[in-house]
Amino acid sequence: MYRVRRFLNTDAEVVAQLIAKTMRATNIKDYSIEFIEKDLQSLKANDLIERAKQFHCYVIENSDNDALIGVGSIGPFWGSKTESSLFNIFVDPDYQGHGLGKMIINTLETEEYFLRASRIEIPASKTALHFYQKMGYGFKNGMDKVDSEELYRLEKFNSEKDAKIK
């Protein structure tokens, strides 16, 4: 069985390794190794600890062996009180396809940063695009092309009223 809990600073090294393993194994079909290695330079243990000061980060543990097998974060969108963003959602390649990504999203979507927001954005990799679409996220401003960071910008609104305001 699996359990979700808040990220601890002592998790940082293992989570950094999980992210690197996932990007090298899963994202490699959509990105070059040079792109991945450059991206990983800002996803080291110390970077994750610093981000956890601004965002609420969660990990998924395999309760059979306490291994960390998933991670995800939510925080304010550029300091906004009415918009939030999801970040760094990764599931160990050995556990993909078992509903753990959905478990992370469901956890983040019950979080205070999600509940207070009228709009939630996610910078989505090419690899994760279809997963996030299945979770109800659509192209921001209808833009279905990657940006200069090779990411799609997706968003979700917390109510019909908020979607109409857009």
Residue-level pLDDT at 161: 39
Under a CB-based contact definition with an 8 Å cutoff, are residues 111 and 119 in contact?
A: no
Overall CATH class of domain 2-165 = alpha beta
Decide if 39 contacts 27 (C-beta within 8 A): no
Q: Tell me the sheet residues that pair with 157.
A: 119
pLDDT reported for residue 164: 44
pLDDT number for residue 78: 87
Phi/psi at 18 (5° precision): -60, -45
Q: How far apart are CA 60 and CA 11, in angstroms?
A: 11
Q: What's the pLDDT at 158? A: 87
Domain parsing of the chain, residue ranges:
2-165
What is the structure's pLDDT at 46? 97
Supply the pLDDT for residue 87: 94
pTM, to two decimals: 0.92
- pLDDT < 50 stretches in the chain: 160-166
